[in-house]
Amino acid sequence: MELFDRVLSINDLDAVIDLLSFELERPVIVEDADYTLLAYNSHYIQHFDEANQQTIFTKKWTLPIYETFIEAGVVNKLKTYERPFTVEAMPEIGLNTRIVVSARHEGRIMGYIWIQQMEEPLTAEGLDLLYDISFHIGRLIYDIQKSKLRQEEKEERFYQNIFNGIYKTALDLDWGAKEFGVQLPEHFAVAAVELVEKDDKILFNLQQVAQTSLQLEDKLHHVLIQGDILFIVLGGKRADAPIEALAREVIQRIRDYAKDKEAAVRSGVGSIYSDPFELLKSANQAKEVIQAAKLTHRPLSLYYKDLHICRYLQVIHDKNKEIGYESEAVRKIRELDPNGKKELLKTLEMYLLHNCKIKPTAAALFVHPNTVNYRINQINEAVELDLNDVMQKFQLLLDLMTRGKA
C-alpha cells in the first residue's frame, strides 16, 4: 500500500505523524491554527532542533519564535500560502531549515505541518505527497477541535451552574462535575474583572486574552462571562501552586490590552480554597474587591485577603445611605474645595492613611510636602479635628472612604 493510502486509512493524528516521521526519517510537528502543539515525532530523538524542543516543552511557540517569524514574514506566508514552502534556518532561535504546509479542511486553515529538512531534502514527489495528505490532517484537526469544543461547552455550562447557584450542596457539585466530565482543581481562587465603562465587545476580547494567557492545557482553569463581569477560575494541583502570582500576571495582561483599547478595568482576586463548593465564595470575594475600589479614592490590593477594613466599606456605605447620614466634617471640607475637585478630601484621606505624616502623604499624592501642609492647615481652620483621638480619627477615615464617587 502506498504511503498516501496508508495515511488516509488512519484516523488518529498521533498515529499519522508517527508514520510520516518513520517513513520520511525526519522530525514532524503538527500545530493548530493558534500555533499550539498537537502532535510530534522524530525518527531519531536527537534530530529535534532547539526550536522543536522549546515548542514541545511549552506546548506553544515561545515569544522569541513568534516575534522572529512575524519579522521574517513566516506568519504571513502560513496564512496565505497553500502549497508547501521552505523556512530557512534561523540560528538565533535554534531553528533548522524546515518545510511547512497549512492543513486545511473545507477551505479553512486548521493548523500547520512542519517537517525538518535533513541532509537529503524532500524531493518534489515528497512535497506533493505532503500537500496531498495535508487535507487529511486538516480533517483530523477539525475532528479534534470539534470534540474539544463540545467538551468546552460542557465545562462552560458546569461553571455557569456554579455561579448561578444551581448546586446547593458539595454532593450536588461533585455530581455536576462528573455529569459534565470536568476535572476540578485541588486548589483554586477566582479572579473578577469589570470594565469601568461597559463594552461587550471589549469584555469578550478580554476573555480571549485571559484564555490565551492561561492556555488552558491542564483543564484546571476556566474563563467565563457573567453579566458585565469576567470571571477567571485559577486552579492548581498543589497547595503551593502559584495561584496568586498567576492571577496577577493574567490581570496585568488584561489591563495592558484594555489600555491599548483606551479602556480601564477594575479587578479583584478571591481567597484560595481547596473545597470546590467554595468557588462561588471566592468569586463573591473578588467582586467585593471591585466594589471597594468603586468606593475608595486610592489603589487597593488586588487580593481580598489584603482588603482589611475595606471589605466592610460597602455595608457601611449602604447603611449611611439608608439613614441619610453625612459626616459634618466631610461636608464642611467639601465646601472648601475649589471647583469641586475634592483635593482637600483626597489629601485628608491619604494623610490619615499615612499616619498623619506629611512626606509619605505628599509622595502618594505626587505633590510637594508644602502643598500637603497648606491643605491640612486649611482643613484645621475650618473643622475642629482632634487627630490624637483614635475613635474620631477612625470615624473620619471611614467617612472619607465611604463618601463614594459623587
Q: Is residue 211 part of a domain?
A: yes
Is pLDDT at 326 greater than 50 in this prediction?
A: yes
Give the closest residue to 34 by CA, choosing from 217, 182, 193: 217
Residue 184 DSSP class: P
Q: Is residue 168 part of a domain?
A: no
**Total structural domains in the chain?**
3
Identify whether residues 122 and 197 lie together within a single domain.
no
> Per-residue confidence at 217, pLDDT binned at 50, 70, 90?
very low
pLDDT at 219: 62
**Looking at residues 287-294, what average pLDDT do you find?**
90
Q: Is residue 391 part of a domain?
A: yes
Sequence-ordered strand ranges (E) for 5-142: 28-32, 37-41, 85-87, 98-105, 108-116
Cα separation, 101 vs 109, in Å, equals 10
Is pLDDT at 75 greater than 80 in this prediction?
A: yes
Is pLDDT at 303 greater than 50 in this prediction?
A: yes
Identify whether residues 292 and 339 lie together within a single domain.
no
Domain that residue 211 falls in: 183-307
Given 307, 339, 354, the domain boundary residue is 307
Is pLDDT at 88 greater than 90 in this prediction?
A: yes
pLDDT at 384: 80
> Per-residue confidence at 184, pLDDT binned at 50, 70, 90?
confident
CATH of the domain at 43: 3.30.450.40
**Looking at residues 299-305, what average pLDDT do you find?**
87
Identify whether residues 127 and 63 lie together within a single domain.
yes
pLDDT at 404: 59
Identify whether residues 199 and 241 lie together within a single domain.
yes
**Looking at residues 41-65, what average pLDDT do you find?**
81
pLDDT at 406: 39
Q: Is residue 315 part of a domain?
A: no
pLDDT at 310: 85
Identify whether residues 131 and 25 lie together within a single domain.
yes
Given 148, 170, 198, the domain boundary residue is 148
Cα separation, 113 vs 99, in Å, equals 8
Identify whether residues 244 and 330 lie together within a single domain.
no
CB count in 10 Å sphere of residue 244: 17
Alpha helices in 103-169 (DSSP H): 124-163
The H helix count followed by the E strand count for the chain is 16, 9
Identify whether residues 110 and 9 lie together within a single domain.
yes
Q: Is residue 135 part of a domain?
A: yes
**Looking at residues 286-299, what average pLDDT do you find?**
83
Q: Is residue 291 part of a domain?
A: yes
Is pLDDT at 337 greater than 80 in this prediction?
A: no
Identify whether residues 343 and 293 lie together within a single domain.
no
Identify whether residues 97 and 33 lie together within a single domain.
yes
* Contacts with 79 (C-beta within 8 Å, 6 or more apart), sequence order: 102, 109
Q: Is residue 14 part of a domain?
A: yes
Q: Is residue 321 part of a domain?
A: no
Identify whether residues 188 and 294 lie together within a single domain.
yes
- Residue position matching grid coordinates 498543589: 238
> Per-residue confidence at 16, pLDDT binned at 50, 70, 90?
very high
CATH of the domain at 302: 3.30.70.270
CATH of the domain at 383: 1.10.10.2840
Is pLDDT at 70 greater than 50 in this prediction?
A: yes
pLDDT at 72: 92
Identify whether residues 255 and 375 lie together within a single domain.
no
Identify whether residues 50 and 111 lie together within a single domain.
yes
Is pLDDT at 405 greater than 50 in this prediction?
A: no
For residue 11, the SS3 value is: coil
Cα separation, 39 vs 264, in Å, equals 39
pTM of the model: 0.60
> Per-residue confidence at 297, pLDDT binned at 50, 70, 90?
low
pLDDT at 24: 87
**Looking at residues 295-323, what average pLDDT do you find?**
85
Residue 309 DSSP class: G
**Looking at residues 71-97, what average pLDDT do you find?**
92
